[in-house]
């Protein structure tokens, strides 16, 4: 699945910039970083066609640290809900996705960037089908 197709589907109606990779952008929050990551391991490596994406969210900064934390958490949780409650199967770009699951827990606090913006992160497995 291509980055742009996933970002367009995931952020439909969401006011946030997005970019691929792991480098914190110079953009003003809110923004979402999508990074394709290695799969779930050798046990299922050849058993299905899949992609794994890490979703990292930074919400609006706010006047106080607590606002940044709450805004970032709200952005991450809203995107998490979009993924885990989507009516699968769906076509994202040109790929038919039969299911998507969160690997691990719901979005969790990761760090504060230099501008004191809170970042939340979670990882998702998207299974492709024909």
pTM over 0.85: yes
Collapsing DSSP to helix, strand or coil, 24 comes out as coil
Q: What is the CA radius of gyration of the chain?
A: 15
Q: pLDDT at position 29, please? A: 86
* CATH architecture of structural domain 3-128: 2-Layer Sandwich (3.30)
Given a cut of 80, whether residue 72 has pLDDT beyond it is: yes
Inter-residue contact 112 to 121 (CB < 8 Å): no
Q: pLDDT at position 62, please? A: 74
- pLDDT tens digits, residue range 10-38? 999 898 988 888 787 777 889 999 998 87
- Structure confidence at residue 5 as a pLDDT band (50, 70, 90): very high
Q: pLDDT at position 47, please? A: 54
Beta pairing, strands 95-112 & 118-128: antiparallel
Which phi and psi angles does 84 have, rounded to 5°? Answer: -75, -15
- Structure confidence at residue 109 as a pLDDT band (50, 70, 90): very high
User: How confident is the prediction for the chain on average, in pLDDT?
Assistant: 87
| Domains of the chain by residue range | 3-128
- pLDDT tens digits, residue range 35-66? 988 765 555 555 567 889 999 999 988 777 78
Which residues, at least 6 apart from 112, have a Cβ–Cβ distance to it below 8 Å?
65, 68, 118, 119
């Amino acid at each position: 699945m291509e980055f742009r197709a996933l970002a367009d589907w995931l952020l439909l109606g969401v006011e946030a910039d997005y970019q691929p990779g792991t480098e914190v952008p110079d953009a003003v929050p809110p923004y979402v970083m999508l990074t394709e990551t290695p799969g779930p391991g050798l046990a299922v490596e050849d058993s299905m066609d899949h992609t794994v994406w890490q979703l990292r969210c930074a919400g609006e900064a706010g006047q106080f640290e607590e606002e940044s934390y709450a805004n970032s958490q709200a952005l991450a949780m809203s995107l998490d809900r979009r993924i885990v409650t989507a009516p699968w199967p769906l076509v994202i770009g040109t790929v038919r996705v039969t299911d998507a699951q969160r690997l691990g827990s719901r979005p969790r606090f990761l760090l504060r960037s230099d501008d004191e913006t809170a970042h939340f992160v979670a990882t998702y497995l998207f299974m492709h089908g024909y």
